[in-house]
Structure 1
Amino acid sequence: MSDFNAQIIAEFRDHGGHTEMFGDGLVLVHSIGARSGEERVNPVAAIDEGGSWLIAASAAGADRHPDWYRNLLAHPDVEIETGERTVDVHTEDLQGQERDAAWQRFTEMSSGFRDYQQKTDRVIPVLRLAAR
């Protein structure tokens, strides 16, 4: 885990889900390594839909998907920390118009997401984490 992620995770947990840089817009995703089987924790920007959360595998516009994305596809039943509670969720990789509409919500939330898409040729995946 990077020092940056470790700092964000600590701040998130110390302040009930709030961070100075990201406000209340994160969740901590607990995934299981697709190959290693080890638990990973990643801070990820999220849109709360009331019972489910949208997350985008933007990787800041990198040309490859983040590892946590592959982990969630391999092991879709995980848990997230919202700041207030820990929630068991099931991961759905959105496709087609549903993905496009969800992605638009991210670009409306932050111009950074538009910049990420311009940096890469890959389609940035959007996932729904639905409480189970």
Structure 2
Amino acid sequence: MGPGAGPGAASGAAPGVRLVQKVSATRVFARIAPHVVPALDRAVHRLTRGRVLLSARMLPGVVLTVPGARSGRLRTTPLACMPQPGDGGAGSWILIGSNFGRPGHPAWTANLLAHPEAAVINWKGAGIPVRARLLEGEERARVWETALTFWPPYAAYQARIDREIRLFRLERREAAGPGEERGGSG
């Protein structure tokens, strides 16, 4: 999705979207959502065999599977994403480590930093091996501005924490081994 596109695109947001954005920017939401939203997403994703993410009704989403930074065990996390245009569809995906505006970085960001070549996403029911890259400098600044247009509550999240929210670009890569294409389904 290019700049100005997406659910939060300034003046084009529907009243329902604006209401969800307003609620999403609150501290109460930041306390409750991390416990409720991922659990609901995982359940619906599992029940629909990877075809539906409940939160994707509001924002595009992927299910990320990556080895844990310390344990090495596969960790599966449903996440909002910003798909970036490419040949014939999404060429890459931007993940935003907002953690709903809570102080610590989300665990999945440490997992991507530790294992950038081992990630798989489930995107619209398809398992796709990806390479993760932490965005920095000018590239990060450009993508952050796009993210704020895409989903304005990110500004409220950043304003109430001291850490810089991590942004990652996920790009397709060749599968490393058999069975990897199924990754991310739960």
TM-score (norm. length: structure 1): 0.90
Question: Aligned residue for 1:85?
Answer: 126
Q: Determine if the alignment matches structure 1 residue 71 to structure 2 residue 111.
A: yes
C-alpha contact (below 8 Å) 1:17/1:84 kept by paired residues: yes
What is the 5 A alignment of 1:1-132?
A: 2=35, 4-13=37-46, 14=48, 16-19=51-54, 21-23=55-57, 25-49=60-84, 50-77=90-117, 78-132=119-173
Higher helix share: 2
Residue 6 of structure 1 and its aligned partner are, at CA, apart by 2.7
The count of corresponding residues between Structure 1 and Structure 2 is: 131
State TM-score, norm by structure 2. Answer: 0.65
What are the Cα deviations for residues 73-131 of structure 1, in whole angstroms up to 9, with x where unaligned?
A: 00012100012311000000000110111111211111211111111111111000000
Asked if the contact 2:41–2:53 (Cα under 8 Å) also holds between the matched residues in 1, the reply is no
Amino acid at match of 1:113: Y
- Any idea what SS the aligned residue of 1:121 has? coil
State the distance in 2 between where 1:83 and 1:17 align. Answer: 7
Once the two structures are aligned, what percentage of the paired residues are identical? 31
Instruction: Name the larger-Rg structure.
Output: 2
> Counting strand residues as a fraction of each chain, which structure ranks higher?
1
- Superposed CA RMSD: 1.9
Structure 1 residue ranges without an equivalent (≥5): none
Quick one: which amino acid aligns to residue 86 of structure 1?
G
- The unaligned stretches of length 5 or more in structure 2 are 1-33, 85-89, 174-186
**Aligned pair in 2 of structure 1 residues 101, 53: CA closer, same or farther (>3 Å)?**
same
